[in-house]
Structure 1
């Protein structure tokens, strides 16, 4: 397995954790907002709704952005856990632009042409792991 950056929504935290745990059980390393360790300046903004009213130039926001972007650059693969918000979709676009293999997990509410960036969309974490295992053979 390789290094995965997992993006999603705080509202979908349980599904994000399922993906993180399934990948880790299969031997992958993961980075996700639900388990990331942030310093004091950034940690308050890394909570649900913590950045909603913050100024984009706040030092904590800058640190949070820099840490997440560094982890995204370091990852081999990207997973978007659906449903997800705008920020996670922006991360997907960045990952695709960086040449990362992009995958998605969860229900697709409506067809989006730009979802073509995903090599595979699976219904759940188990389906993602099965797909990755089959691809390695």
Structure 2
């Protein structure tokens, strides 16, 4: 059973939950669900942030692949960096193809181990299950 992690921001909560549920329904194992953490509830201490960070780092490192749903924030991009450093497969989803704008894109989005995905979330899921 392949293990996965979804990196994104709270702005994409519904999309993260949709992708996660579809992958789990198709037999994949989700390494960590950050959408249920205390961070989503808004009141945190520095110790809470440390624990969440440890859980997220461990989840990325235990995954066979990660899915990055853009737009993302600082944490999303740190998780992308961890995955790149660990040689993980990465599916990078950009709903509006903004990552193809040479003036605003990140160089890391265009590395060979990053599979860029456009279209709908279902298109992304098909590419993952490919």
1:69 aligns with 2:63: no
| Structure 1 contact 7–88 (Cα < 8 Å) conserved | yes
Given that 2:4 and 2:65 are in contact with CA atoms closer than 8 Å, whether structure 1 keeps it comes out as yes
Name stretches of at least 5 consecutive residues in structure 2 with no aligned partner: none
The alpha carbon displacement at 1:101 in A equals 0.3
Identify the residue that residue 72 of structure 2 maps to in structure 1. 84
1:67-90 per-residue CA deviation (whole Å, 9 max, x = no partner) reads 111111111101111111121011
Q: Which runs of 4+ in 1 moved over 3 A?
A: 48-51
TM-fit CA distance, 1:120 = 2.9
Q: Who is 1:39 aligned against? A: none
> TM-score by structure 1 length?
0.76
Moved more, 85-94 or 26-35: 26-35
1:33-48 equivalent positions in 2, closer than 5 A: 33-35=34-36, 43-44=37-38, 46-47=39-40
Contact 1:22 1:125 in 2 (8 A): no
Q: TM-score, normalised by structure 2?
A: 0.80
Q: Give me the CA root mean square deviation.
A: 2.0
- Give unmatched runs, 5+ long, in structure 1: 36-42
Per the alignment, residue 19 of structure 1 pairs with 19
Q: Which residue is 1:114 aligned to? A: 108
Tell me the matched-pair count. 121
Greater displacement, 100-109 / 3-12: 100-109
Instruction: Provide the C-alpha distance between the structure 2 equivalents of 1:26 and 1:122, rounded to a whole number of angstroms.
Output: 21
Instruction: Indicate yes or no: 2:64 matched with 1:32.
Output: no
Counterpart position of 1:38: none
Check conservation: 2:91, 2:128, Cα contact below 8 A.
no
Match of 2:5 in 1: 5
